[in-house]
Amino acid sequence: MPDAHDAAVQRANEALQTYTLSGEGWRHSPGETFRQALTDLLHWCDDTQRDFDAALKHARIRHADESGRAGTS
């Protein structure tokens, strides 16, 4: 059974694979693919009135907690 880190990385890989396999995605670097995914999430937040910065803040806290680095970010 994979640990929490490996499971998280697998979920991220699966989500980003949609971008990589898209018509233009295969032409871009992994970094550009990631930036495009973030940009799309910003647009989604605009349309659904979600606070991207607040979500990112909470995600950083969760990541630190899951990584055993709570209070270091």
Q: Is 25 exposed, middle or buried (0-12, 13-18, 19+ CB in 10 A)?
A: middle
Mean pLDDT of 12-26: 77
Answer whether residue 41 shows pLDDT above 60: yes
The whole model's pTM is what? 0.75
* Mean pLDDT, residues 29-47: 91
Query: pLDDT-based confidence at 34, cuts 50/70/90?
Result: confident
* Predicted pLDDT of residue 1: 46
- In this predicted structure, what is the pLDDT of residue 24? 66
> pLDDT value at position 23?
66
Report how far apart, in Å, the C-alpha atoms of 37 and of each of 4, 29, 43, 44 are: 22, 12, 10, 10
